[in-house]
Each structure stands twice: as C-alpha cells, then as structure tokens.
C-alpha cells in the first residue's frame, strides 16, 4: 500500500507546472508586443523619411542626375536604400542596394513591405505619387536589425 500524497507536495507540483506555463506565455506575448511596437516605430520613421524625400522631389522637380545625387546624400545621412522609379521607366537606386533584390521590391504594391532574404529581411515603405504631372514611386528600405550599410 502506497503512502498518500501530501496536499502541500501536490500543490507545489501543480504550482510549478502552472508557473512555468504562465511565464512561458508571458515571455512570448511580450516578445510579440515588442516586435509589433518596433515595427510600428520603424513604419513611422520610414514614412517620415519618404515624405521628406517626396516633398523635395515635388518642390524642386529635379533631373535624373539631381535625383541620383539626392539618393546618395540620403543614403549617407540615413543609411537606408532608396529606389526611385521615374515616370519615364528608369529606376534609380542607392549604391548600397543589391540589384539582385530589385525584382522583389519593384513587384510589391504600395505600402509597407517585408522581403525575406535568408538571414536578413528587408523592411520598407513604397509609395506612388504624381510629380510634375507624371506618376513615379519611391521605396525606402532597411534590413531588420541594422542598416543596409552594415552588411
């Protein structure tokens, strides 16, 4: 005949199991919330950068060479890749942008984009607008966790 389990021992065992489950749920829910807050912060930041770049284009109506210089200046200042598709069909990109990734970016619709690339994920914002009566688009990209310059 086996000895009956004590109530204290049973309570400790169940308490340990429930505590482990509880803390695991807390950990994963906090991880999810932090990721969502980080993404939202990045979206606001990219939206502001893209808005500034768009305002300059609309106000100054730059030439293709001027746009290339602006892209390089923004790249040095912000550390993000910028892609401009002009109404004439030409595509201007930052020097730090890997052109093998171009098709994955150009095919994306307007809005926030995620492009999985092995260990790195590109995160960006793509916007289409009318400049000097012609349709154009701007995409601002960064990698998850670091800028494109850090690669």
**For the domain that residue 121 is a member of, what is the CATH number?**
3.30.450
Backbone angles phi, psi at 33, to 5 degrees: -65, -45
Tokens representing residue 28 in the block: 């994963």
Sign of CA dihedral 143, 117, 85, 93: positive
CA distance 84 to 7: 70
Structural domain including 43 reads: 7-150
Task: Specify the length of the chain in residues.
Answer: 151
100 in any annotated domain? yes
CA distance 55 to 119: 34
Domain count for the chain, please give it.
1
Closest CA to 87 of 142, 138, 40: 138
20 in any annotated domain? yes
91 in any annotated domain? yes
pTM, entire model: 0.67
- The residue with greater pLDDT, 26 or 103, is 26
1 in any annotated domain? no
136 in any annotated domain? yes
pLDDT by residue (tens digit) across 59-91?
A: 877 777 888 888 888 887 777 888 888 777 778
Distance of CA 24 to the CA centre of its chain: 27
pLDDT by residue (tens digit) across 11-70?
A: 999 999 999 999 999 999 999 999 899 888 888 988 888 888 888 877 877 777 888 888
């Amino acid at each position: 005949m086996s000895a009956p389990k004590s109530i204290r021992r049973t309570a400790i065992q169940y308490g340990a199991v429930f505590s482990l489950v509880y803390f695991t749920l807390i950990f994963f829910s906090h991880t999810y919330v932090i990721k969502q807050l980080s993404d939202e912060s990045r979206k606001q930041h990219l939206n502001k950068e893209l808005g500034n770049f768009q305002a300059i284009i609309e106000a100054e109506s730059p030439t293709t060479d001027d746009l290339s210089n602006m892209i390089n200046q923004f790249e040095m200042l912000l550390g993000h890749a910028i892609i401009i598709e002009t109404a004439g069909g030409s595509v201007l990109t930052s020097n730090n942008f890997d052109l093998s990734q171009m098709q994955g970016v150009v095919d994306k619709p307007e809005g926030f984009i995620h492009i999985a690339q092995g260990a790195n994920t590109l995160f960006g914002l793509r916007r289409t607008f009318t400049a000097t009566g012609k349709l154009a688009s701007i995409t601002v990209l960064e990698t998850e966790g670091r800028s494109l310059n850090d690669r």
